[in-house]
Amino acid sequence: MRRPSIHQLEVFCKVVRLESMARAAEELCVAPSSVSMQIQELERRFRVPLLVRGPRRTVPTSAGKALYLRAMKVLENLDAVERDLAKLGALESGMLRFASSRTIGSALVRPVLQVFERTYPKVDVAYHVMANSQQANAEVLDERAEFALVGRVRADGVLGVTPLFEESLIVVLSRGHPLAAVEPLTMADLGRQPLLLRESPVLGRDRVVASLEGAGVFPDVVELGSTEAIKAEVVAGRGVAVLPRTTVEEELVEGALVARAVVGFVPSRTVYLATLSHTPLSPPADSFVALLRQRYGAVADSARPELERT
């Protein structure tokens, strides 16, 4: 048996409340014949009389009373759904659930999150900083986060990956390093020092090397497995590194490291948005991502992720 339409239930409930098909038609701004037709269709579908039409009023039968009670609950639930969706669309409720890798971390996220929380105070926020991009991506795959902000993505088809914005990288070295007193540095200066980088493609490694080689500089690259290991080697004076400022902010403040400009060298790495493929963002997530793009600038549509191949 085909289910009755929402419109038919609305018409039926209106007739029961007003005890008149004519008054129901007037409130619904339709012809009385249209109301009568909807009631007849309901009675054919349920195969029972639903209304008793009297000279002064129209009242429900026993079956009509049962339908009325159930139909009212259906319509009330639909009204509640519409109110909830309206609130969510206006970001008066809902939850923002996301993760990021540590190298992106709260230094980039926190300023934007503060704006979001001031703008949408009724939205709950669950934000987790993970040790690396792989763990942040796992939060999305396991549906503990709606999206992740990462610098490393896999070409596995399960995650949808979108370049989000470019984060500037800086050249850092120890305060006692011979080049610390040279400012500005040249790319040739970097070519004469061990260059400490993460493995490809982490932290824009391939882009950094390509930029130097494009200028005819072929550095001695030393790859290390973690950002902490790179910082330790740089602090010890065993090379120069190219890292996001957010990962060395503490060392710069304390004076363990110094940042130096390099003529013609403006390194950066891409921050990616990772979501489950073919899954649209919720209104809170969509609004937060828009704020990120607004603050840091969107990557051009033609940009393509440098995917980690497995």
Close Cβ partners of 68 (under 8 Å, ≥ 6 residues apart)? 12, 13, 16, 60
Task: List the one residue out of 190, 200, 173 whose CA is nearest residue 256.
Answer: 173
What's the pLDDT tens digit per position in 104-134? 876 789 889 999 999 889 899 999 999 888 8
Domain extent listing, the chain: 6-89, 95-165+270-296, 167-269
Rounded Cα distance, 273 and 211, in Å:
24
Strand partners, 240: 195
Architecture of domain 95-165+270-296: 3-Layer(aba) Sandwich (3.40)
Strand partners, 167: 269
Token pair 């971390």 is found at 105
Helix (H, G, I), strand (E, B) or coil at 98: strand
- Say if residues 131 and 226 touch (Cβ distance below 8 Å): no
What CATH number does the domain located at 167-269 have? 3.40.190.10
Provide the whole-model pTM: 0.64
What's the pLDDT tens digit per position in 137-191? 999 999 999 999 998 777 667 888 889 998 888 999 999 999 988 888 999 998 8
What CATH number does the domain located at 6-89 have? 1.10.10.10
